[in-house]
């Protein structure tokens, strides 16, 4: 949840905090209906972006802070990085708020988001519900969670080279591409993707029509392991099932060291909420 500022000194502290990460400050009023909409949006974003600081400042309670920050209407969001305000947004347009947070959380605050070399899109791996995701035929010693852990850990298959990964997201996403890193001799080769099919098993994965089929090559892995998807087929994805049929080395064990998803989040804001907060509330 967004943290409510309780004293003026705390505001100074959060500006200092922006030296190491993005800080978003919501200037609100208790009498402003759109402010309640923004509150819900920021609470949701706080769970999706644990490395971003979200704070709330009551303009009536802290008029001096609001005046110094030149707040003339509520809700107003200000974005801070390295002690300086880098952007500002008025109103309760969820789509605009999400886009701003996504853009500025990418590190340098530039308008062109970039993930694993894919310009215009972000790393959506933060939206994966790890506890609701699973992998069929995984090794007990090297399970699915290893692909999200970093370091030298890997996911490995167990009785043969095949895997079925069921990846759940905490909100609908538009997938542009996926990124796979793996040991060269055991890296996935032929994979089949199924959008919104968490029920897929091995028999279904081989017999059913896939949303897309991809053949990974050594050259693709050398260039970063990014495989572009047929974007129009992955516009509203709540879950993605990945069937790995074999690996590049024809080994009995398939291994994956990192898995990432690249694209954009689908705006799921209620239309009435957006309309209610379009203009903000002057004070």
Does residue 205 contact residue 194 with C-beta atoms inside 8 Å?
yes
- Each residue of 191-206: b (16+ CB within 10 Å) or e? bbbbbebeebeeeebe
CA distance 182 to 44: 33
Structure tokens at 104: 């500025």
Q: Is there a catalytic annotation at residue 69?
A: no
Cα–Cα nearest to 165, from 193, 146, 140: 193
The single residue of 22, 32, 65, 165 carrying the catalytic annotation is 32
35 is catalytic: yes
Rounded CA-CA distance 252/62 in Å is 65
> How far, in Å, CA of 163 to CA of 137, rounded?
6
Helix axes 33-48, 94-104, angle to 10 degrees: 40
Given the residues 14, 23, 25, 35, the one annotated as active site: 35
The residues annotated as belonging to the active site are: 32, 35
């Amino acid at each position: 949840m967004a943290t409510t500022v309780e004293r003026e000194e705390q505001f100074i502290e959060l500006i200092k905090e922006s030296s190491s990460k993005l800080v978003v400050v919501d200037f609100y009023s208790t009498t402003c209906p759109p402010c309640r909409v923004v509150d819900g949006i920021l609470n949701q974003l706080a769970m999706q972006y644990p490395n971003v600081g979200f704070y709330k400042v009551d303009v009536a309670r802290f008029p001096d802070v609001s005046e110094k920050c030149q707040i003339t209407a509520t809700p107003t969001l200000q974005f801070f990085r390295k002690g300086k305000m880098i952007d500002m947004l008025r109103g309760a347009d969820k789509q605009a708020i999400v886009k701003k947070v996504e853009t500025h959380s990418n590190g340098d605050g530039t308008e062109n988001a970039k993930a694993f070399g894919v310009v215009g899109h972000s790393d959506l791996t933060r939206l994966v519900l790890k506890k609701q995701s699973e992998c069929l035929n995984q090794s007990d010693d090297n399970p699915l969670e290893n692909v999200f852990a970093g370091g030298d850990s890997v996911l490995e298959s167990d009785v043969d080279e095949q895997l079925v990964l069921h990846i759940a997201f905490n909100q609908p996403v538009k997938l542009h591409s996926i990124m796979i890193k793996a040991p060269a001799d055991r890296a996935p080769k032929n994979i089949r993707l199924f959008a919104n099919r968490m029920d897929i098993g091995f028999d279904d994965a081989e017999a059913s029509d896939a949303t897309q089929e991809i053949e990974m090559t050594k050259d693709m892995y050398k260039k970063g392991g990014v495989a572009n998807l047929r974007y129009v087929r992955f516009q509203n994805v709540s879950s993605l099932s990945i069937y790995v049929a074999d690996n590049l080395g024809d080994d009995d064990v398939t291994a994956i060291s990192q898995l990432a998803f690249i694209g954009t989040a689908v705006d799921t804001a209620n239309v009435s909420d957006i309309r209610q907060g379009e203009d903000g509330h002057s004070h």
